[in-house]
Amino acid sequence: MKSFRDPVHNLIAFEDSDRFVIDLINTAEFQRLRRIRQLGMGNIAYPGAEHSRFVHSLGVAHMMRRVLDASADWQDGRHNGALRAEVRAYRNLAIAAALLHDIGHGPFSHALEGVTSERHELWTTAIIRSPMTEVHQVLEGYESGFAEQVAQIVEKRFEPSRAVVKLLSSQLDTDRIDYLLRDALMTGAGYGTFDVEWLIHVMRIGEVAGEPEVGLDLHKGQSIAEDYIMCRYYMYLHVYFHKTTRAAEVMVEKLLQRARMLGAYLPGFSGLNALLEGSLDTAASARTAEYLELDDAVLWTAIHLWSRNPDDVLRDFAQRLLNRRVFRGVDVKDGPHRLRLMEALEHKARLHGVPPAFYVVHDTAASHAYQDAYVSPSGWDDGDMAAATAEGIDRRGSEQIYLFDERGRPYELSEQSFIVKAVRDRKVKIERVLYPEDWLRDGTSE
């Protein structure tokens, strides 16, 4: 048995029969996640939020194991027996997928993807499938074909068990449960918490229109479901969309754009340059190794180096990020007022002799606490507004939480709960204009 201590779950233990989990943890690719912070620039607003994707991934595997173990006690409705047996039959696959679901994350994922248009989810499955990676080798060593199956679960395309897919990626999944609890503890934000023991206790599985769905007990689960939705709402409001964090993320994106424009590079790290140039993509699986060189340390070192770059913009952005001279965010309503504000600020930028495209930024993002955009049937998680939505993909199936009665009949949560109903169609939405606060303090203001 291998056990880890954890500030969130206290004890995370994998038994000897889960030996492959330990082997996966010991791979180079999984160890890389130690060097990637879960919340990117989030610690700029919440100094305690310094946790890595490594510890989050351990937590998701642990939650998956606990949910699967608890499923033995799930009450039986009409169809549940089969689903219960099914999720237990795929136990090892489910735990492996839970552990590896974030393995393709790069440093400051959102910012990097904003520049490269290359989604981290594609890297995740590329890494799992690439015969060159240790992760792939451990999976295949465990059982031939295992890597492909794990990749399909991550992609939400695993047809043998839709239920297992849902346990990892749905409105009530083990990924979200861990990150909400962990982000709430580490930020110290004080709002976002819920009773995970009760949540697991009242979890159920059922079928909705022929599709398996993870849900909760109708009679015992409604309040905890509300608590969970409210937790998500507050985490978006106070943490994920925090003004300073968003500003810092936008600044990283602008910095990387500038680096690409200038061809600025970090000696010895061809992967970063290739990625910025667009010559490194998931199709080029032979180049996965270059992608895997990237982590927060490498990116921060590039920022260090660029803080001495001759280009005024690159240097200024690098220095601002290192020293937390973050742009100010002003909440505005979208529309003419915003346009006028931006015009005035762009004028000021020109007076300062700096390019307005870099120094005056329109920042907009939105999420629903209930139908949140981390999930869509086509499988892509983007943190803010999923491309999937834009592409009109039907997301209804995964976007609801169901309560099941003792006979397995589903009741959609927002139909039962006036609180969730109130939250349901309300976006946590931001409309901001970002610009350097120091402009307000210096003598050049007109």
- Pick the closer one to a copy of itself by CB: 391 or 406: 406
The stretch near a copy of itself (CB under 8 A) out of 85-93, 96-104, 226-234, 245-253 is 226-234
Q: Does 310 bind a copy of itself (CB under 8 A)?
A: no
The stretch near a copy of itself (CB under 8 A) out of 170-178, 227-235, 253-261, 436-444 is 227-235
**CA neighbours closer than 13 Å in the CB half-sphere of residue 302:** 26
Angle made by CA atoms 250, 251, 257, in degrees to the nearest 5: 95
Q: Does 141 bind a copy of itself (CB under 8 A)?
A: no
Min dist. Cβ of residue 347 to a copy of itself (A) = 28
Of 110, 235, 246, 136, the C-alpha closest to 181 is: 235
> Please, which of residues 59-88 interact with a copy of itself by CB under 8 A?
73, 75
Task: Indicate which single residue of 2, 22, 48, 343 sits in contact with a copy of itself (rule: CB under 8 A).
Answer: 48
**What mask of x and - would describe binding to a copy of itself in positions 260 to 299, judged by CB under 8 A?**
------xxxx-----------------------x-xxxx-
Min dist. Cβ of residue 404 to a copy of itself (A) = 15
The stretch near a copy of itself (CB under 8 A) out of 60-68, 170-178, 204-212, 219-227 is 219-227
Compute CA distances 319 → 44, 249, 301, whole Å: 15, 14, 12
Q: Does 228 bind a copy of itself (CB under 8 A)?
A: no
Residue 212 contacts by C-beta under 8 Å, 6 or more apart in sequence? 83, 86, 161, 162, 163, 166, 205, 206
The stretch near a copy of itself (CB under 8 A) out of 54-62, 123-131, 141-149, 390-398 is 54-62
Task: Indicate which single residue of 88, 201, 315, 328 sits in contact with a copy of itself (rule: CB under 8 A).
Answer: 201
Q: Does 1 bind a copy of itself (CB under 8 A)?
A: yes
Q: Does 35 bind a copy of itself (CB under 8 A)?
A: yes
Of 25, 33, 24, 35, the C-alpha closest to 301 is: 35
Q: Are 42 and 239 in contact (CB under 8 A)?
A: yes
Q: Does 440 bind a copy of itself (CB under 8 A)?
A: no
Min dist. Cβ of residue 368 to a copy of itself (A) = 13
**CA 367/CA 241 separation, integer angstroms:** 9
Task: Indicate which single residue of 91, 421, 427, 429 sits in contact with a copy of itself (rule: CB under 8 A).
Answer: 421
- Pick the closer one to a copy of itself by CB: 8 or 361: 8
Binding residues with a copy of itself: total (CB under 8 A): 72
Min dist. Cβ of residue 142 to a copy of itself (A) = 18
- Pick the closer one to a copy of itself by CB: 31 or 117: 31
Instruction: List, as own/partner pairs, every contact residues 121-126 make where C-beta atoms lie below 8 angstroms and the sequence separation is at least 24, other chains included.
Output: 121/154, 121/155, 121/379, 121/380, 121/381, 122/282, 123/282, 123/288, 123/291, 124/100, 124/154, 125/151, 125/154, 125/155, 126/282, 126/285, 126/288
> Please, which of residues 230-259 interact with a copy of itself by CB under 8 A?
230, 234, 237-238
- Pick the closer one to a copy of itself by CB: 106 or 379: 106
Helices and strands counted in the chain (H then E): 24, 9
- Pick the closer one to a copy of itself by CB: 44 or 433: 44
Min dist. Cβ of residue 145 to a copy of itself (A) = 26
**CA 155/CA 434 separation, integer angstroms:** 35
The stretch near a copy of itself (CB under 8 A) out of 88-96, 152-160, 250-258, 415-423 is 415-423
The structure tokens listed for 368 are 């629903």
Min dist. Cβ of residue 212 to a copy of itself (A) = 22
**What mask of x and - would describe binding to a copy of itself in positions 322 to 341, judged by CB under 8 A?**
xxx-----------------
3-state secondary structure of 266: coil
Task: Indicate which single residue of 2, 3, 85, 391 sits in contact with a copy of itself (rule: CB under 8 A).
Answer: 3
Residue 188 contacts by C-beta under 8 Å, 6 or more apart in sequence? 46, 48
Compute CA distances 158 → 7, 152, 172, 205, 286, whole Å: 33, 5, 18, 17, 25
Q: Does 185 bind a copy of itself (CB under 8 A)?
A: yes
Compute CA distances 391 → 138, 378, 383, whole Å: 36, 10, 16
Handedness of CA 281, 111, 387, 400 (dihedral sign): positive
The stretch near a copy of itself (CB under 8 A) out of 60-68, 120-128, 249-257, 414-422 is 414-422
- Write phi, then psi, for 161 (nearest 5 degrees): -150, 100
